[in-house]
């Protein structure tokens, strides 16, 4: 869909006002949406987290829920699980997950599928009674604001970001005057040393920094009181224009701005308004903020921000702390947390336990059981990570072992094998109009096969494999040790689902994206290619060397040679679907309908 058409839809009606019209259509039924207005309304519904499923599944919707920083208050996860049980029921079972489940997302949120438009009012009533909303979940607006999932809990926290996040959520994301952005917009802030918000792939990201500031320079009275002349102050450096997708990823660029915590809101709001006012609203393929920064440069943006969008003089950048970043950084686990799985101590002496949900999909009865465990062993609060995993917080140290013995944690383990631990996957062709390959069920099958057929050295406890169904890269394949992106290819004269294979991505101090070493590999030959590659890594690495470090030292030519695709005992769940059926796992072969409304990255 063209940007011009999108802007016409938004000019007609957008933001908070869409809700009443959506409720009106829900009351009358999906077929009450006029055919000649369907594109417009389905595009507008996304602001309220209601996304049409792909072609062949008309009348069913994905619902994306929103929060701030992945925080689910007591009772909220239970309400989500009950909604999934009662309303996220499709006409066909998924062979891996059955019916009625939720997906944890890479932006610390939750998605439901198979929701009927007619059920949206009842779903909203149930969720909103628990304080859960779907507002600002999709479309050209600010998406889930991300941060460290254990903000306010971590025992090594540098800056408490929760008060700042609350202002971002209520006063920026909640401002209907800013709901109509040129394109979707992601905000993040990190206050812990491992860098778990992944600020470098956000439209604007604040990362911990320090700077010597004189009293005369300090903007706020609080800062002046706390800081003597020349005292080192903790705050944030600002980065802008990061993002993935379209085979044109960008690392967020330093804006040469240091901001104290008291001023973080003003600077972030200023950049949001600046992009809102000056961002491209004509060419949709080139109007994400990363292209805006490419076009104008950080000097121009900084000058305009300073002159017109904040009412104090911006300070130059401070000394960053990126050398401490270990989250998804491809560094040894001896250097710090690379995810939030396992048992960890909180600042108050309690414990939090991160559990692994392979590819982020959890069945509704398990979701409700997880809520039970959070109530029984913790405070009832759940935190969500950017790796599609939940965390139980506020656990009495004396009850941790008892919690770890619970059956749910035997399936969704706090310390799983490295293949499962490092796996992420987007929605894929199961529901998404943009995807070219099925993802979650295929990844589950691949993980079992890799577990049973590939041996890793004892000191390798992480290997991140991220799977996106298309180049929109919602599964963050570009940031993985091994990235997979869905394509189509040919095998034995037939069209099949195929994958591109990339290696060597990661975040950390020096973010980098994968190099694509294999293209259009038939999906049933991908596990063989991964086995060959991982076995070569195990055989040729130095002791203690991580996969990312080994890739950097090996070179593309050799990596291509070492990743030869081949057929194995692995059986692919939908090799020949190639997005021809209405649902990848349906036995009946209904005619393919017209192309539906794309929802993955829009």
Q: Which of 330, 424, 352 is nearest to 149 (CA)?
A: 352
**Judging by DSSP bridges, how do beta strands 382-384 and 361-363 pair with one another?**
unpaired
pTM for the model: 0.94
Tell me the C-alpha distance between 370 and 226, whole Å.
43
Helix axis angle for 3-12 and 38-45, nearest 10°, is 80
- What tokens were used for 181? 């952005």
What whole-number distance in Å separates Cα of residue 357 and Cα of residue 352? 16
Q: Return the pLDDT at 221.
A: 44
Sequence ranges of the domains in the chain: 1-137+358-415, 158-191+199-324, 420-562
Closest by alpha carbon to 435, among 599, 247, 244? Answer: 599
Residue 578 pLDDT: 74
Closest CA to 191 of 235, 229, 226: 235
Q: Does an H or E element contain 204, and which?
A: strand 204-213
Burial class (CB in 10 A: 0-12, 13-18, 19+), 586: middle
What pLDDT shows up at residue 214?
82
What is the structure's pLDDT at 8?
87
What would the pLDDT profile of 476-517 be if each residue is shown by its tens digit? Answer: 999 999 999 999 999 999 999 999 999 999 999 999 999 999
Quick one: pLDDT at residue 225? 40
Model pLDDT, residue 305: 98
Q: DSSP labels for 331-383?
A: --GGGS-SSS-EEEEBTTS-EEEE---GGGEEEHHHHHHHHHHHHHHS-S-EE
Given this model, what pLDDT does residue 246 score?
83
Q: Report which of 443, 418, 360 is spatially closest to residue 534, judged by C-alpha positions.
A: 418
CATH of domain 158-191+199-324: 3.30.413.10
CA dist 20 to 24, 36, 140, Å? 6, 20, 19
The bridge status of strand 482-491 relative to strand 465-468 is parallel
CATH fold match for the domains 1-137+358-415 and 158-191+199-324: no
CA dist., res. 454 & res. 570, Å (int): 12
Q: What is the mean pLDDT of each run of 10 residues along the chain (602 residues)?
A: 82 93 97 96 97 96 97 98 98 96 98 98 98 97 97 97 97 96 97 96 98 67 48 97 93 98 98 97 93 98 98 97 95 93 98 98 98 98 98 98 98 97 97 96 98 96 97 97 97 96 97 97 98 98 96 96 98 88 83 40 47
E strand or H helix at 68: none
Fold topology of 1-137+358-415 = Sulfite Reductase Hemoprotein; domain 2 (3.90.480)
The domain covering 420-562 belongs, at the CATH homologous superfamily level, to: Sulfite Reductase Hemoprotein, domain 1 (3.30.413.10)
């Amino acid at each position: 869909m063209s940007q011009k058409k999108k802007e016409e839809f938004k000019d007609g009606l957008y933001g908070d006002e869409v809700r009443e019209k959506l409720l009106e259509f829900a009351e009358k039924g999906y077929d009450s949406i006029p055919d000649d207005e369907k594109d417009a309304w389905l595009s507008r519904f996304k602001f309220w987290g209601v996304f049409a499923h792909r072609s062949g599944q008309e009348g069913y919707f994905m619902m994306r829920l929103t929060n701030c920083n992945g925080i689910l208050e007591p009772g909220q996860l239970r309400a989500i699980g009950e909604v999934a049980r009662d309303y996220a029921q499709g006409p066909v079972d998924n062979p891996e997950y059955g019916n009625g489940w939720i997906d944890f997302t890479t932006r610390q949120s939750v998605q439901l599928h198979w929701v009927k438009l007619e059920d949206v009012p009842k779903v909203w009533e149930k969720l909103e009674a628990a304080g859960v909303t779907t507002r600002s979940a999709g479309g050209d607006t600010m998406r889930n604001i991300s941060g460290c999932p254990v903000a306010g809990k971590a025992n090594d926290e540098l800056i408490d970001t929760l008060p700042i996040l609350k202002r971002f959520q209520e006063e920026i994301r909640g401002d209907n005057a800013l709901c109509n952005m040129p394109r979707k917009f992601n905000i993040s802030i990190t206050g812990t040393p491992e860098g778990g918000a992944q600020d470098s792939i956000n439209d604007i990201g604040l990362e911990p920094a320090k700077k010597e500031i004189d009293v005369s320079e300090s903007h706020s009275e609080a800062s002046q009181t706390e800081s003597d002349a020349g005292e080192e102050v903790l705050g944030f450096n600002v980065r802008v224009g990061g993002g993935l997708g379209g085979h044109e990823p960008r690392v967020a660029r330093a804006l040469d701005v240091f901001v104290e915590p008291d001023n973080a809101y003003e600077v972030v709001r200023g950049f949001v308004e600046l992009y809102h006012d000056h961002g491209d609203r004509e060419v949709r393929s080139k109007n994400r903020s990363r292209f805006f920064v490419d076009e104008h440069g950080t000097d121009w943006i900084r000058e305009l921000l300073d002159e017109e969008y904040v009412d104090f003089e911006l300070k130059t950048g401070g000394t960053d702390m990126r050398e401490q970043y270990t989250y998804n950084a491809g560094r040894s686990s001896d250097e710090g947390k690379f995810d939030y799985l396992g048992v960890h101590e909180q600042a108050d002496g309690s414990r939090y336990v991160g559990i692994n949900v392979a590819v982020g999909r959890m069945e509704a009865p398990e979701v409700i059981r997880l809520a039970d465990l959070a109530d029984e062993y913790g405070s009832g609060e759940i935190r969500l990570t950017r790796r599609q995993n939940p965390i139980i917080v506020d656990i009495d140290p004396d009850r941790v072992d008892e919690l770890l013995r619970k059956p749910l944690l035997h399936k969704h383990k706090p310390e799983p094998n490295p293949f499962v631990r490092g796996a992420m996957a987007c929605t894929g062709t199961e529901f998404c109009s943009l995807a070219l390959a099925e993802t979650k069920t295929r990844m589950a099958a691949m993980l079992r096969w890799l577990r049973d057929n590939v041996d890793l050295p004892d000191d390798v406890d992480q290997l991140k494999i991220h799977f996106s169904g298309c180049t929109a890269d919602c599964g963050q394949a570009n940031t993985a040790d091994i990235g997979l992106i869905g394509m189509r290819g040919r095998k034995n004269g037939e069209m099949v689902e195929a994958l591109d294979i990339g290696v060597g991505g990661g975040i950390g101090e020096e973010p980098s994206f994968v190099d694509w070493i294999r293209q259009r590999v038939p999906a049933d030959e991908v596990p063989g290619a991964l086995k060959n590659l991982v076995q070569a890594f195990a055989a040729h690495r130095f002791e203690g060397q991580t996969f990312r470090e080994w890739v950097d030292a090996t070179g593309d030519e050799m990596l291509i040679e070492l990743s030869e695709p081949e057929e194995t005992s692995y059986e692919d769940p939908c090799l020949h679907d190639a997005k021809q059926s209405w649902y990848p796992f349906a036995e009946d072969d209904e005619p393919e309908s017209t192309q539906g409304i794309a929802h993955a990255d829009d």
